Amino acid sequence: MTPSTTLAVDAMDDDSVKHLFEQLTATNNELAVLHRDLTRKTRDLEEARTLNNQFLGMAAHDLRNPLHVIGGMSRVLLRSRNVSEMERKLIQSIFDSSDFMRRLVDDLLQVSELDAGMLRLHREPCALRELVAERVELQRPMAEGKGIAITLRCLEPLPPVNGDRMRLAQVLDNLLSNAIKYSRPGTRVTVTTRATRGGTRVSVGDEGQGIARDELGKLFLPFGVTSSHATGGEKSTGLGLLIVKRIAEAHGGSVLVRSRVGVGTTFHLLLPAGE
Ligand SMILES: Nc1ncnc2c1ncn2[C@@H]1O[C@H](COP(=O)(O)OP(=O)(O)OP(=O)(O)O)[C@@H](O)[C@H]1O
Ligand SMILES: [Mg+2]
């Protein structure tokens, strides 16, 4: 109690003090009940989330096989000489749809693994500069096919990164493919690697449509699409950046974004140094 409260209580008669005490006790009991209630609800929610996640994982896993069969069979039919041009177009669209669904299912499975904390990183010392250069070269034909140039700027030697090469490649592929996907022909994507005080920063900048400030919050949410659209008819699952963020965080890193509508977007991947 503060000195003024003590004075106020001193000035009260016994009945008033008793009444005040009873009120305090009742409020305290109510708070205890609310706290218990909140703890139980949090536990129930956590259990429901785990179940939901398990269900998502099982459904995604079970969908993989039939999709694999549909994709495989349509590929065989596409090679056959006994199909008309019209049939070939139909089979091609069956193949494309099954391929998109397979990608969606793979992404969902990965999100459910990441959510369940089941992502096992196979960490090893990674030559990040070489990895970035490799991923850029792999995406270059896609960019050039859309009339987009990619420039790679590796400004200084990078500190060692202790990371999962495959997962980091996945992060870079996602950021690069977004930059290409949401940019128009005649623009440039610039990839820059820098050594920072705590580790490494890889930036992927584009001169694309940009993202409105009030839509930035959606970027890393499941199925969080914004008003910017793919410029070459590319398909979207809306899970790419969520996976990017989770993988970066599993490495002790983070992903930041800077964007201006009509000017472009830059995603920064920050990774801590580690032997
Ligand atoms: N470089 C970018 N420029 C403009 N908008 C972008 C950029 N990168 C992402 N976005 C916006 O953020 C949304 C979410 O991106 P995300 O990569 O998670 O999903 P996606 O590209 O739609 O689908 P996919 O799961 O196939 O990657 C996109 O739909 C797009 O609206
Ligand atoms: Mg994407």
Residue 110, ligand 1, Cβ within 6 A: no
Distance of CA 227 to the CA centre of its chain: 18
From edge to edge, which strands make up the β-sheet containing 264-272? 149-154, 188-195, 199-205, 264-272, 254-260
Nearest CA to ligand 1 atom 27: 240
CA angle 192, 262, 229 (to 5 degrees): 90
Domain boundaries, the chain: 1-118, 124-272
State the Cα–Cα distance between residues 235 and 68, nearest whole angstrom. 19
Predicted local distance difference test score (pLDDT) of residue 224: 86
pLDDT tens for each residue of 84-95:
999 999 999 999
What is the CATH architecture of 1-118? Orthogonal Bundle (1.10)
Residue 179, ligand 1, Cβ within 6 A: yes
Residue 208, ligand 1, Cβ within 6 A: yes
pLDDT tens for each residue of 61-72:
889 889 999 999
- Using the 8-state DSSP alphabet, how is residue 217 labeled? G
Burial 106-117 (b: 16+ CB within 10 A, else e): ebbbbbbbbbee
Predicted local distance difference test score (pLDDT) of residue 16: 85
Share of the chain above pLDDT 90, in %: 71
Average pLDDT of 177-203?
Answer: 96
Residue 239, ligand 1, Cβ within 6 A: yes
Average pLDDT of 138-146?
Answer: 96
State the Cα–Cα distance between residues 173 and 267, nearest whole angstrom. 12
Average pLDDT of 197-203?
Answer: 94
Write down the CATH number for the domain with range 124-272.
3.30.565.10
Whole-number Å distance, alpha carbon 49 to ligand 1 midpoint, is: 25
pLDDT tens for each residue of 251-272:
999 999 999 999 999 999 999 9
Predicted local distance difference test score (pLDDT) of residue 237: 85
User: In this predicted model, which residue has the larger pLDDT, 183 or 50?
Assistant: 183
pLDDT of residue 3 exceeding 80, the answer is no
Predicted local distance difference test score (pLDDT) of residue 176: 98
Q: Is 197 left (phi over 0), alpha (psi -120 to 50) or beta?
A: alpha
Predicted local distance difference test score (pLDDT) of residue 119: 79
Burial 142-177 (b: 16+ CB within 10 A, else e): bbeebebebebebeeebbebbbbbebbbbbbebbbb
State the Cα–Cα distance between residues 19 and 1, nearest whole angstrom. 17
pLDDT of residue 7 exceeding 80, the answer is no
Query: How would you class 77 by CB atoms within 10 Å of its CB: exposed for 0-12, middle for 13-18, buried for 19 or more?
Result: middle
Nearest CA to ligand 1 atom 17: 240
Pick the closest to residue 223 from 234, 242, 238, 235 (CA basis).
238
Tokens for 105? 């299912």
pLDDT of residue 6 exceeding 70, the answer is no
State the Cα–Cα distance between residues 147 and 125, nearest whole angstrom. 35
Whole-number Å distance, alpha carbon 240 to ligand 2 midpoint, is: 5
pTM value is: 0.79
Distance of CA 248 to the CA centre of its chain: 9
* β-bridge mates for residue 201, sequence order: 194, 270
